[in-house]
A and B are shown apart, each in its own frame.
Chain A
Amino acid sequence: MNDVVSTIFMFFNICSAGYVVVVSVTYLIQLFYAFVGLKKYKKSLDYSTSSRFIESENIVPISVLVPAYNEEQTICDTVKNLLSIDYPNYEIVVINDGSKDETLKKLVEEFNLVEINEPFKVSISTEKVKGVYRSVNHINLVVVDKENGGKADALNAGINISQYPVFVSVDADCVLEDTSLLRIVYSFMNDPDCVAIGGTIRINSGCEIENGKLKSVALTGNALFTIQTNEYLRDFLTGRIALNEMGTLLIISGAFGAFKKQAVIDVGGYTPKCIGEDIELVVKLHKNSFQKNLGSTIRFMPDPVCWTQPPDNLKDLIKQRKRWHIGLADTLLKHKDMILNPKYKKIGMMTLPYFCFFDFIGPIIEMLGYFFIPLSWVLGILDVKFMLGFYLLGLLYGTILSVGSLLLEENIFGKYPKLRDVLKLLFFAVVDNLGYRQIMTIIKIGAMFGFRKNKSQWGSIKRRKYGDK
């Protein structure tokens, strides 16, 4: 009996240790690819002529879609920010998705909106549009008031009413840098096959934002914000760039991404009632491209930056992460026919299995390790050296990845000018692995169990006005 138990325990222990080694090596490879990709990108900035288009009529005109649900705290600042962006020809389409708070009222008052009987082409069917408002003061601002249907439905309504060939989706709690739109759209101009481009999201807590404009970048003293800052740097400057470099990008964040409108309409728009509408759309675009042999490209740009407001408490953070994970699970399930299907080349053979392994099987194996390894030591099955080695390895690889991302940030962008801030990020790169990462793993596992129940809810978290500490 004892032998059987100890064999089972050892099996789980070796699986967990093996998983941590595989993860470490995979992430180190990603870090290397990200370094190569960013180096290339930095060089291209030297001779990029994008700035010539700041006042040019020759840049692609775009529609900026801002879906809003109960966003009364931030919506006006977000719109003010978007109105002040350096871009020659664009419209802002705010879609009020049946908010229960005063989102619409605030917009009407702040921007002097007038209801107008605007007919529009319904390319994608959506919940009923109750009214369309245009601003007396700002010719390029339009607000759509519709019945609640979820973020995907709101974005589809925005696509219907938008009039330009490229749209950029921006979350209602985000602030864009002055040249973000120009940089993200400029890529479309140089790649006719490109159907979607994702931009980088960063945490705006601690940054000085005045009238919806980003004045300076800094960190707050709040540990949760700083840990999330590291997390975003890791995800965007390592994960996404590496996947982009390998031609296998699967996620374009809903908070900031640019799309060719016709390509999105061709795949039926965002899938309604889909919680991970952003990732699902990208998968659909890939699928359509392979099925129709279109040769479309989907890219990620590290430089156009969108600064977002993170959840400020653990409860909201858990809610947000659960939603992300459910969104990923929902997408993978919806498109399970693509997984390990050679027809979909690298996406089917590499990226989708990668997400299945590291985001679904991975957390379970990791958790089993956290449980079985100390238990094995207590039961005398395992040497203490093995247990310490396992934990140290987990700590080291997580920290290397965070510090590596910080190094890339510093080398290419240097957005944090104060040494104090860099040291703070460095400190939390270590702390991040002593509890926070484990909590995130538990959330991922928890999300899988609540998947069916939660898979079509708007992910609203408590918003703060800009300037609130």
Chain B
Amino acid sequence: MKFLIEFMDYINIVFFTILVVFVLVLILFHIYSGAKVKANKRLEKRIIRLLDEGEKGESKIKKIKKLFTPNGIRLLENLATNVDEDKVESLRRILSTEKFTRYFRDNLTFKNQSVALLTTKMIAEIKLDGFIPEILTNIKRWEDNSEAQQVGLLALCLNGKNKALVELLSHKDFKLTVSFRTMQELVESFNGDRIPLFKELLSRNCDTYIYRSCIQSIGNEKIYELAEDIMPFLNSENLNLRISTARALGELKYKPAKDILLKILQDSDWELTSAIVEALSKISPEDCYEIILPFVYHKEWWVRYRTAEILVSLQDSDKLITDIAKSNDKYASEIIEYMLQRKELMKERV
């Protein structure tokens, strides 16, 4: 019993000490954080004011020591996304001076991963030039870290580094770790002429996500001159790549693709079928009705749904209702009825 009491006393003393420390730290931390937020806001306002003052202000900014800290980098990145392009240009000029360049380069080379990535992100947002070798080295250094790869690629894309991107993404040792949607976002953020970038990437041996991102962007941005370059991907072994290509060709309204799409339509996966039906409706809306009508009776629900959506946008409702009625297909009738109802609702909304 004595031992138990002593043991409990001992634990209570330890816990009480921990509690007192926690309480003190909590209060001090609250006061410190509040002060830090206010100081950051003041500094941000001061920098904005100095940016308005022109050269005199710029030289004052260069002397602000707090900017040479991780917190300063955070502040710079935040500034870049909240001020107008003229101010970002001034900031870019200031941060391209030797002292800042040396500090950023040190961060990228010698500091820990989080500081290096924070610096890379700031470089990306402000579009600072001259750090490509360090960024490429870091992407390779942390090749399994998708966040490191993402931030590095973002810096290359926002700076429009076509050559560096092509070399990196098509390198035999490069392993893409970011998701498809992230890759797509990166490709779309590329700040420069995308046609040579896409052409070059599509002709090299790259990851499927990279091909798909390029192809999707070609479709979204209607880059008709690259339609021929994406055609071979309709025969890819990768289903998602074939789907993306069919969609992109649809977006481009690329007539020469019609026959190949029709051929693939005969024996395709339902997702691909759905994509081709959509593509055909865009490529030749004038004569695709009869081709795509049978797909409203497809065994897969989503194909029926998408086909119905397209048919309603293509054809006048009376003919459509008559044609569907002939089939005696209850599910097709239901889905067409819903699509027509929805169309009416959309009109009301307008």
List residues of A whose CB falls within 8 A of some B CB: 14, 17, 21, 24, 43-44, 46-49, 51-53, 56, 58-60, 114, 116-119, 121, 134, 136-137, 139, 189-190, 192, 382-383, 385-386, 389-390, 392-393, 396-397, 399-400, 403-404, 406-407, 410-411, 414, 417, 419, 422-423, 426
The winner among A52, A114, A116, A417 for most chain B CB atoms within 10 A is: A52
Closest partner residue, chain A, to B26 (CB atom): A407
- Cβ of A393 and Cβ of B11 under 8 Å apart? yes
Q: A52-B189, A396-B16 are in contact. List 12 more A-B contacts (CB 8 A).
A: A46-B117, A47-B117, A47-B147, A49-B150, A56-B188, A192-B179, A396-B15, A407-B26, A407-B29, A410-B29, A410-B33, A414-B33
B184 within 8 Å of A (CB atoms): yes
CB distance from A213 to the nearest CB of B (A): 21
CA of A286 to CA of B182, assembled, Å: 27
Q: Hey, which chain B residues are within 8 Å of A399, CB to CB? A: 19
| Distance of B59 from chain A, by nearest CB (Å) | 29
Whether the Cβ atoms of A121 and B301 lie closer than 8 Å is yes
* CB-CB under 8 A for A52 and B185, given A136-B348, A190-B179: yes
Inter-chain contact A422/B182, CB cutoff 8 Å: no
- B12 near A393 (CB under 8 angstroms)? yes
Chain B residues with CB under 8 A of A382: 1
Across chains A and B, which 5 residue pairs bring their CB atoms closest together, nearest first?
A: A389-B8, A47-B117, A396-B15, A121-B301, A58-B185
Query: From residue B57, how far is it (CB to closest CB) to chain A in Å?
Result: 27
Contact A47 B151 (CB under 8 A): yes
CA distance A21 to B9 in the complex (A): 12
Task: Evaluate contact between A136 and B1: CB separation under 8 angstroms.
Answer: no
Which residues on A sit within 8 Å (CB–CB) of B345? 114, 116, 134, 136
> What separation, in Å, do the CA atoms of A400 and B23 have in the docked complex?
9
| Per-residue interface assignment for chain B, residues 45 to 89, with 1 indicating a CB less than 8 Å from any chain A CB and 0 otherwise | 000000000000000000000000010001000000100000000
Query: Which residues of the other chain, A, contact B19 by a CB distance below 8 angstroms?
Result: 396, 399-400, 403
Is the beta-carbon distance between B1 and A383 smaller than 8 angstroms?
yes
The answer, yes or no, to whether B22 is at the interface (CB within 8 Å) is yes
* Given A58-B185, A417-B34: A47 and B334 interface contact (C-beta under 8 Å): no
Assess whether A411 is in contact with B337, with CB atoms less than 8 Å apart. Answer: no
Least distance between B342 CB and chain A CB atoms (Å): 7
- State the CA gap A137–B345 with chains docked (Å): 10
Asked whether A137 lies within 8 Å of B12 as measured between CB atoms, the reply is: no
Count of CB-CB pairs between chains A and B under 8 Å = 133
Considering the chains assembled together, what is the distance between the CA atoms of A134 and B181 in angstroms? 29
Chain B residues whose CB sits within 8 angstroms of the CB of A49 once the complex forms:
121, 150-151, 154
**Which residues 225-265 of B sit at the A interface, judged by CB distance below 8 A?**
none
Question: Taking A393-B11, A396-B15 as contacts, is the C-beta distance between A403 and B26 under 8 angstroms?
Answer: yes
Asked if A392 contacts B121 (CB within 8 A), the reply is no
Residues of chain A with a CB closer than 8 A to B8's CB:
17, 386, 389-390, 393
In the assembled complex, B120 has its CB within 8 A of some CB on chain A: yes
Contacts of A410 in B (CB 8 A): 26, 29-30, 33
Q: Could you say which residues of chain A place their CB within 8 Å of the CB of B151?
A: 47, 49
Count of chain B residues with Cβ under 8 Å from any Cβ of A? Answer: 56
> How far apart sit A119 and B338, CA to CA, in the bound complex (Å)?
7
- Min CB distance, B189 to chain A, in Å? 7
- Which residues of B from 5 to 30 have beta carbons under 8 Å from A? 5, 8-9, 11-12, 15-16, 18-19, 22-23, 25-27, 29-30
A91 to B30, CA, bound (A): 39
Q: In the assembled complex, how far is the CB of residue A233 from the closest CB belonging to chain B, in whole angstroms?
A: 12
B9 pairs with A389, CB closer than 8 A: yes
A396 CB contacts on chain B under 8 angstroms: 12, 15-16, 19
Most buried by A among B15, B30, B33, B335: B30
| Distance between Cα atoms of A399 and B22 in the complex (Å) | 10
Which residues of A have CB within 8 Å of B349?
Answer: 136-137, 139
User: What is the distance, in angstroms, from B33's C-beta to the closest C-beta of chain A?
Assistant: 5
A117 and B344 CA atoms in complex are apart in Å by 12
Smallest CB gap from B304: residue in A: A119
A93 vs B312: C-alpha distance when bound (angstroms):
24
27 A–B contacts, CB within 8 A, in A order: A14-B4, A44-B147, A46-B114, A46-B121, A47-B120, A49-B121, A49-B150, A49-B151, A58-B188, A121-B302, A139-B349, A190-B182, A192-B179, A385-B9, A386-B1, A386-B4, A389-B5, A393-B11, A400-B15, A400-B19, A403-B23, A410-B26, A410-B33, A414-B30, A414-B37, A419-B34, A423-B27
Given A49-B154, A190-B147, A396-B16: A24 in contact with B11 (beta carbons within 8 A): yes
**Which single residue of chain B is at the shortest CB-CB distance from A188?**
B179
Q: Give bound CA distance, A389 to B5, whole Å.
A: 7
Q: For A56, what are the chain B residues with a Cβ–Cβ distance below 8 Å?
A: 185, 188
Q: Who on chain B is nearest to A382 by CB?
A: B1
Task: Known A14-B4, A386-B4; judge A400-B22 contact (CB<8 A).
Answer: yes
B299-350, CB < 8 A from A: 301-302, 331, 334-335, 337-338, 341-342, 345-346, 348-349
B203 at the interface (CB under 8 A from A): no
Q: How far is the CA of A392 from the CA of B30 in the complex (A)?
A: 27
- CB contacts (< 8 Å) of A389 on chain B: these are 5, 8-9, 12
Given A47-B151, A407-B22: A397 and B9 interface contact (C-beta under 8 Å): no
Residue of B12, B178, B338 near A117 (CB, 8 A) is: B338
Q: Name the distance in Å between A159's Cβ and chain B's nearest Cβ.
A: 14
A119:B331 contact, CB within 8 angstroms: yes
Question: A189 to chain B: which residues have CB within 8 Å?
Answer: 179, 181-182
- Asked if A48 and B147 sit within 8 Å, CB to CB, the answer is yes
